[in-house]
Amino acid sequence: MSREIVALINREDRKVAVAVGKEIPAIARAVDAIVAGMRKGGRLIYAGAGSSGRMAVLDAAECQPTFGTPPKLVQALIAGGARAITHAVEGAEDDVRRAERELRKRKLTRNDVVVGVTASGTTPYVLAALRFARERRATTVAITSNRRTPVTRLAKIVIGPEVGPEVLTGSTRMKAGTAQKMVLNMLSTATMARLGHVYENLMIDVVQTNAKVARRALRILAEASGKSVSAAEHALRAAGHNMRVALVMLKLGVEVREARKRLAEAGGNLRRALDE
């Protein structure tokens, strides 16, 4: 019985990647909009409720440690606030005034991109966030599993993977939630790669918050430079644990002062500093 249940779920889950793949043109347009906005000082702000909001919170929370970005560059609003991350907050998704209040508090500008995440396409909290964003002339994006809903009329860019009926009827934390997770990963990761927070396929700006990540940083430097882990450790220590500076030192065989100078002259662009 258990085997049959999980096999059924697995068969349905296989459809998700195909559905998301059909949305690649729209996802790419959203990435272009986010990159353009961030280059002008804008931010990426997700808005969602329930499972959708939790997916958004997760993606936003991972950006700072993974890409070394400022904490406010990628944000997530969830209906019901922080408590809603771990508990169901009754009536939160209907609180349209809170959505507007949260965005007003963040002083939304036309350079920001607001991404509404709603599987149903009808969540009042998300609709209110997108409506307010449009009024402020910010770029609006919708991630939904239902294109024939109000959210598509409020979004400039619609990402609508059609995953089909859920195994557990109405439980959008399943296929719809998986699709949301995939799309959010693509939006944030592609954006950060475009902005130079990725070197090749390596997390060159990862924040070294613990021993495990510190070891990972050394492996990243060794792989990117072709040098030994011990050489990477020496360079990273000399660079004050700045991985970009350490990589320039390793690849070009220069001292820390020269590496910092090259990066400064390149405006922080790692590839330009490396003459690549």
- Residue 15 sits in the same domain as residue 136: yes
pLDDT in tens, 46-72: 999 999 999 999 999 999 999 999 999
In the residue annotation, 265 being an active-site residue is answered as: no
Distance (Å) of CA 90 to CA 94, 110, 170, 177, 186: 9, 32, 18, 20, 31
What mean pLDDT, rounded, does the chain reach?
A: 95
pTM as predicted: 0.92
Query: Does the structure show a pLDDT above 90 at 94?
Result: no
Last residue of a domain, one of 194, 220, 250: 194
In the residue annotation, 93 being an active-site residue is answered as: yes
- Residue 184 sits in the same domain as residue 244: no
CA 82-212-272 angle, 5° bins: 90
Active-site option among 23, 93, 100, 166: 93
- Residue 51 sits in the same domain as residue 124: yes
- Residue 241 sits in the same domain as residue 166: no
pLDDT in tens, 95-122: 899 999 999 999 999 999 999 999 999 9
The answer to whether 125 and 99 are in contact (CB under 8 A) is: yes
User: What is the DSSP secondary structure assignment for residue 140, as one 8-state letter?
Assistant: E
Active-site option among 12, 62, 223, 258: 62
Residue 166 in domain: yes
pLDDT at position 171: 87
Query: Does the structure show a pLDDT above 90 at 170?
Result: no
Distance (Å) of CA 162 to CA 18, 43, 126, 224: 9, 28, 19, 39
Can you tell me which residue has the tokens 């993606």? 59
**Helix or strand or coil: residue 210?**
coil
Range of the domain at 100: 2-194
| Sequence-distant (≥ 6) Cβ neighbours of residue 70 within 8 angstroms | 64
Question: Could you tell me the CATH number of the domain that includes residue 24?
Answer: 3.40.50.10490
